[in-house]
């Protein structure tokens, strides 16, 4: 751990170029979307203030859009706009729209009618009333809307890293995946500070009145355009092929770092969430992605794994890890969980994943079908001698495994089961286990070694040459350090892998990572 125990400050200093780039990207995303949201929301707000019969429907639509979960919204954008800045900006814009439309509307409708009548009676034209009376008087309310939208956008923009749009989310989500608190904070603290700072500046703006406000508002678009322009900050160099790696992969020795140091791979890289990465590769937005070797989408999207000919990806054999206290509390548990040991091979797991991720079968059904076929299925006994809490990370394979364990426990013991699926990344799952919020979850040997134990690089290199050594190492270390037991491996190895579209790899004759490196090195 010694190496990792650097201070937050030294981490930020070391990563200052990335931090700066991400901050500017973040500002750029926030303000580009804000600018567009004002450009759309302000006229819409004015329109519905004029035609009040439209107000209900337009505010309703904006309200419904607002309630779409941000991740889902980003997901919807990909088929329409691909990955990167465009869908992120559109998604952020949609979030910023409601407060701006609503506050423009409320601001204008809230003006004393006699003031508008006076303006009319003085002989002002519609436009003169709008610009000289309505907008100035609605300005404080309108700015409150912009302020809300800004703060929302700074927050939601952290999710933009999921679809390769950059921003401080790269550090935050990378940090969560890598169990690197410094990295999380290096993203979260600047994001929070940005929100607080922008909120403060806009609150000052709100308090200005009349002439001063006018001056500031005239410079406002300039400031926004400049800030929006930060997004053009060069974020990657371009190469013949484009790679998309998960935030986790980016920060790992057995990921991007290893690809650079051991293979000498030079490829233009964007950071993207694994939820959308495969599709982006399939649709040609990306050429090389960092996938998982048992991922069902491998099959669904016709991708092929590039051979790791220098062996940088350590083995990731899956096995349930259980609190020792839970094993004592539930004596039958270990035996039941080991029913699955050695039962699922790589290709079986890929197929099961394919059925959930691509054929959209429910994890329950996939799990039950498999257990029936393997002759392991027992109908539930509906026992009541204690509740076992199963955790899982937030992807299909873990859901399937959690379901299988749930069925096995219910069928073979008198315990009840509570599943807590979708616990984000490794760190969240592991913390839940350590804090006795769950009894066990399926973990991978490589993750246990590199993310949780984090031994010295020399030791890692030594251990990971052999899958048994890796398993034995994590098993004894977890027992000693955490009082957590690794049960027997389930059988498959879900390691990291670089993958490409099958057709492209054939036409470029790339079958291994070394081939890829060579191809990219050619002029």
Partner 1 sequence: MIKVSGLTKTFGNIKAVDDISFDVLEGENLVLLGTSGCGKTTTLKMINRLIDPDAGTISINEVDTSREKPELLRRKIGYVMQNIGLFPHYTVAENIAVVPRLLQWDKKHTINRTLELLKKLHLPENYLQLFPRELSGGQQQRVGLARALISDPDILLMDEPFGALDNVTRSSIQAEFKALEEFTKKTILMVTHDVQEAFELADRICLMDQGKIIQIGTPKELLFTPKNDFVIRFLDGQRLALQFKLVTIEDLWEFLPEDPRHTNKTISADKASMWSVMEAFSADRSIEHQFFVNTRTKTIKGLNFTQLTNAFNSYQNKEIHD
| Cβ-based nearer residue to partner 1, 129 or 189 | 129
CA distance 138 to 178: 47
| Cβ-based nearer residue to partner 1, 4 or 125 | 125
Beta bridge mates, 416:
387
Rounded to the nearest whole angstrom, what is the least distance from the CB of residue 4 to partner 1 in the complex? 58
CA distance 511 to 502: 10
Q: What is the DSSP string of 136-175?
A: HHHHHHHHHHHHHHHHHHHHHGGGGGGGT--STHHHHHHH
Looking up tokens 């006795």, which residue turns up? 436
Rounded to the nearest whole angstrom, what is the least distance from the CB of residue 205 to partner 1 in the complex? 15
Count Cβ atoms within 10 A of the Cβ of residue 112 and give its class: 0-12 exposed, 13-18 middle, 19 or more buried: exposed
Nearest alpha carbon to residue 85 among 271, 274, 241: 271
| Cβ-based nearer residue to partner 1, 9 or 131 | 131
Rounded to the nearest whole angstrom, what is the least distance from the CB of residue 146 to partner 1 in the complex? 18
**Number of other CB atoms surrounding residue 519 within 10 Å:** 15
| Cβ-based nearer residue to partner 1, 117 or 481 | 117
Rounded to the nearest whole angstrom, what is the least distance from the CB of residue 126 to partner 1 in the complex? 9
| Cβ-based nearer residue to partner 1, 137 or 428 | 137
Rounded to the nearest whole angstrom, what is the least distance from the CB of residue 100 to partner 1 in the complex? 21
| Cβ-based nearer residue to partner 1, 143 or 400 | 143
Rounded to the nearest whole angstrom, what is the least distance from the CB of residue 122 to partner 1 in the complex? 5
| Cβ-based nearer residue to partner 1, 80 or 127 | 127
CA distance 281 to 163: 12
> What order of strands is seen across the sheet that includes strand 242-245?
268-271, 242-245, 288-292, 496-501, 303-305
Looking up tokens 């750029």, which residue turns up? 28
| Cβ-based nearer residue to partner 1, 124 or 477 | 124
Rounded to the nearest whole angstrom, what is the least distance from the CB of residue 53 to partner 1 in the complex? 17
CA distance 352 to 344: 10
Contacts with partner 1 by CB under 8 A lie at 112, 114-115, 117-125, 128, 133, 136-137, 209-210
Nearest alpha carbon to residue 416 among 381, 441, 392: 381
| Cβ-based nearer residue to partner 1, 117 or 462 | 117
List Cβ neighbours of 385 (8 Å cut-off, separation of 6 or more): 413, 414, 415
Rounded to the nearest whole angstrom, what is the least distance from the CB of residue 111 to partner 1 in the complex? 9
Q: Are 174 and 250 contacting, i.e. CB atoms less than 8 angstroms apart?
A: yes
Nearest alpha carbon to residue 316 among 466, 442, 485, 444: 444
Rounded to the nearest whole angstrom, what is the least distance from the CB of residue 216 to partner 1 in the complex? 15
| Cβ-based nearer residue to partner 1, 132 or 365 | 132
Rounded to the nearest whole angstrom, what is the least distance from the CB of residue 174 to partner 1 in the complex? 49
- Do the bridges between strand 288-292 and strand 318-323 make them parallel or antiparallel, or are there none, so unpaired? unpaired
List Cβ neighbours of 54 (8 Å cut-off, separation of 6 or more): 47, 48
């Amino acid at each position: 751990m010694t190496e990792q125990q650097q201070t937050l400050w030294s981490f930020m200093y070391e990563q200052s170029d990335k931090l700066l780039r991400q901050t500017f990207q973040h500002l750029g995303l926030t303000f580009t979307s804000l600018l567009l949201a004002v450009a759309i929301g302000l006229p819409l707000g004015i329109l519905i203030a004029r035609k009040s019969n439209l107000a209900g429907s337009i505010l309703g639509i904006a309200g419904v859009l607002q309630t779409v979960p941000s991740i889902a919204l980003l997901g919807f954008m990909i088929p329409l706009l691909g990955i990167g800045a465009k869908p992120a900006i559109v998604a952020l814009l949609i979030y910023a729209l409601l407060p701006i439309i609503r506050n423009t509307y409320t601001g204008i409708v809230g003006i004393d009618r006699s003031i508008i009548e006076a303006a009319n009676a003085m002989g002002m034209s519609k436009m003169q009333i709008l610009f000289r009376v309505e907008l100035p008087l609605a300005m404080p309310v309108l700015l409150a809307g912009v302020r809300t939208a800004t703060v929302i956008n700074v927050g939601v923009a952290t999710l933009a890293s999921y679809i390769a749009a950059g921003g401080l989310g790269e550090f935050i989500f990378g940090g969560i995946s890598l169990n690197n608190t410094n990295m999380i904070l290096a993203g979260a603290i600047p994001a929070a500070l940005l929100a607080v700072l922008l909120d403060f500046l806009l609150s000052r703006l709100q308090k200005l009145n009349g002439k001063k406000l006018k001056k500031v508002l005239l410079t406002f678009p300039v400031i926004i355009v400049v800030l929006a322009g930060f997004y053009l900050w060069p974020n990657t160099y371009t190469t013949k092929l484009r790679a998309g790696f998960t935030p986790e992969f980016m920060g790992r020795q057995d990921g991007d770092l290893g690809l650079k140091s051991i293979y000498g791979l030079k490829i233009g890289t964007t950071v993207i969430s694994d939820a959308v990465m495969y599709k982006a590769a399939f649709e040609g937005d990306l050429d090389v992605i960092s996938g998982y070797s048992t991922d069902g989408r491998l099959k669904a999207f016709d991708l092929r794994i590039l051979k790791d000919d220098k062996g940088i990806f350590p083995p990731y054999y899956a096995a349930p890890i259980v609190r020792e206290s839970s094993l004592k509390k539930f004596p039958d548990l270990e035996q039941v969980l080991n029913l699955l040991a050695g039962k699922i091979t790589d290709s079986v797991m890929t197929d099961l994943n394919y059925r959930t991720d691509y054929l959209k079968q429910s994890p329950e059904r996939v799990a039950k079908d498999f257990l029936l076929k393997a002759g392991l299925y027992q109908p539930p006994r509906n026992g009541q001698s204690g509740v076992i809490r199963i955790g899982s990370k937030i992807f299909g394979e873990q859901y399937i495994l959690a379901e299988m364990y749930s069925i096995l426990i219910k069928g073979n013991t008198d315990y009840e089961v509570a599943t807590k699926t979708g616990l984000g990344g490794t760190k969240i799952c592991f913390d839940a286990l350590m804090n006795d919020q769950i009894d066990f979850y399926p973990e991978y040997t490589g993750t246990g070694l590199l993310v949780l134990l984090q031994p010295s690089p020399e030791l890692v290199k030594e251990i990971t040459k052999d899958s048994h050594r890796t398993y034995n190492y994590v098993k004894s270390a977890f027992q000693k350090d955490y009082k957590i037991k690794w049960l027997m491996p389930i059988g498959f190895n879900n390691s990291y892998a670089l993958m490409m579209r099958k057709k492209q790899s054939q036409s470029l004759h790339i079958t291994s990572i070394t081939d890829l490196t060579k191809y990219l090195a050619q002029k």
